[in-house]
Amino acid sequence: MTSTPLQDSASTSAPKAAPPVAKRVPLERTHHGDTFVDHYEWLRDKESAEVVEHLKAENAYQEAVTAHQEPLREAIFQEIKGRTQETDLSVPHRKDDWWYYSRSVEGKEYGIQCRVRAADTGDRIADWTPPAVEPGVAIPGEEVLLDGNVEAEGKPFFSIGGTAVTVDGNLYAYAVDNAGDERFTLRIRDLRTGELLPDIIENVFYGVSFSPDGTRIFYTVVDDSWRPYQVKAHVLGTPVTEDVVIYQEDDAAMWLGFELSADRRHLVLGIGCSEYSETRLLRFDDPAQAVTTVISRNERVLYEAEPFLLDGQEKILITHNRGAINSMVSLADPDELQKPLAEQQWQTVVAHSDDVRVNGAGVTSTHLIISIRKDTIERVQVMGLAGLGTPAQQAPVEPAFDEELYTAGVGGSDYEAPVIRLGYTSYFTPSRVYDFVLPTPERPAGELLLRKESPVLGGYDGSDYVATREWATSADGTRIPLSVLRHKAVKQDSTAAGLVYGYGSYEVSMDPGFGVARLSLLDRGIVFVIAHIRGGGELGRHWYEDGKKLTKKNTFTDFIAATDWLAGSGWVDPARIAALGGSAGGLLMGAVANLAPEKYAAIVAQVPFVDPLTSILDPNLPLSALEWEEWGNPITDPQVYAYMKSYSPYENVREAAYPKIAAVTSFNDTRVLYVEPAKWVQELRNKTTGSEPILMKIEMDGGHGGASGRYVQWRERAWDYAFIADSLGATKLLPGAGLK
């Protein structure tokens, strides 16, 4: 297929270059009577100078092969830059007595975190109306909490893993990663003086919170396999060596996290995997500070719990899958939780539905906030707390939006606020921020107040583009939803280029969302298809469970079905289709490359999980044990081992004419180690019977998300998209498209 002449392609000018050849060092891996000989496992040693030199040689090779794409990369970068308002700010959100927001400044890589004091006039809606903040203009009383550009100066990488402010607004904690390995250093600044406290805590994980009285700070620690397993408390002014372990999770397959309850009366510990969980609560007003369990993990219930006061009585809101595969919401008295689960009496708040997936629920002082998914679309509903769990319970109210394909989610709320913050976006509507005024008897439908629509420069007009919902049919007859995006100038005459994107794991949904960079592909006539394949969460819990463990191959065949739909849709030339996916979606790319290499002109696999069996067979590798609930445990289960071996991309590379392939990775990624694509690329070059280049591009300073600065990230995206556009012969803008 890839020998078909492509339109306006510049690839014929690519210089000839020899790919680096890694030495072969056979290493046997034997499980369940099966022996696999791995010749490239030695590349795992990132401390080896030989390995580093090999990776640099890979970069040199891809730079030589793709050098002719540099003008296109620069053009796409300038398009991204030209559509982005570089000096901008977030909509201020109120927490306690302050409005918090971030600024971005043209020419600077990182955001600047700011705040200004809030007013309390007695007019509830007015007091929760964000102040008018202008890009580039400081307002009276504005305080800079953290300037990321100053913090990042002289550092190879910069990322913030969490921030927290005390209730009184005096102390500000922030966690910084300067390596890309997702291990953060926690520091605390006294905002009254600007001075840093002597308290410095190394190697913390995401998320930090102060206790309500501001005397302690809670943080998470990872173990040697990069699994968060401890929640610790540091008393300000004491040695870090005296920090107390609030809870330690020793099960290698369970992930640990924490948050404060909405009313800040409890520390809520969340322990779980994808199939069951456990919530533990610590009351801040309990002198004994005993941690209590809501529902034991032994019951194998997947749930979240939120303690709160209802009419002055302690209640626990539970979002759970007990007898409800799509989950439901129930209300329980704490006393009930002391009984055996089968004897407990819960009140139903949101009943189970086969058509509606309940994603979560939370509370304010007056309302219940519910996140649901219906007809693939994420939505928000609210109802008053009065009569909750009784026949007098109020009907839910859902903010109404105009578009068919959109995403609406809760963007944060304060417990005492009369509004909740909503984020809204669609494929061609830039991100909007709304405040939704919570329903009252005087205003029973609530009210949507638009606070901001992210500006898009360069003459952007959403009416130039079209988004439709289409359906493919997979090999087993299942209908697969597709989101099909195109420029309105593209004709349905089977000549355009196409790109299919997918993920399909961990019940993660590929929800509608605006993307500035994507416009550069659409403006070049590429039809962009997002395949909502099994393993994701778009159509409820069944959709996820039909694409994991021993049904994982449905994810791959669904993606191929989406490709076949596009090839037969009349929009594109079947010889001009590329595929794109990252992380677990990179595993998808490796699988479809082996299953149907002839269907693609090019494949881009970002931080690809292409050697999953090797990784998951070693519980000492980062996060491996946590993956057993997603893929199965090949260490103990020979059926799982055989099934994974049958689709593992690295182990199933075969003699075939592979298309152009680019594996894009980062040296310091802790989730998908660089060694996986490094090995995969070598094996692809060994086996391919075609002449198309197999490339690896490695960011030597980045983490799982690539490099950290926004301009660097834009250039990385431009690299990926230029590779795709060049491979498809779609390098020229459509007439009238592009920046204006």
Catalytic residue IDs: 583, 669, 704
CA distance 490 to 46: 46
Dihedrals phi, psi of 71, to nearest 5 degrees: -60, -35
CA torsion 412→416→417→420, rounded to 10°?
A: 30
Q: Name the nearest CA neighbour of 580 among 531, 538, 642, 629.
A: 531
Decide: 418 and 424 in contact? Cβ < 8 Å: no
Burial of 370-381, coded b for 16+ CB within 10 Å and e otherwise, reads bbbbeebbbbbb
- Could you tell me the CA-to-CA distances from 588 to 94, 415, 546, 661 in Å, in that order? 41, 41, 15, 13
Contacts of 674 (CB under 8 A, 6+ apart): 46, 55, 665, 666, 667, 698
Structure tokens at 389: 């769990």
Q: DSSP label at 150?
A: H
Contact 679, 611 (CB under 8 A): yes
CA–CA gap between residue 119 and residue 133 (Å, rounded): 15
Structure tokens at 142: 């504005």
Distance CA 111, CA 104 (A): 5
Closest CA to 266 of 335, 204, 315: 315
Tokens of 159: 């990322």
What does the alpha-carbon distance between residue 234 and residue 218 come to, in Å, rounded to a whole number?
Answer: 6
> Amino acid identity, residue 580?
L
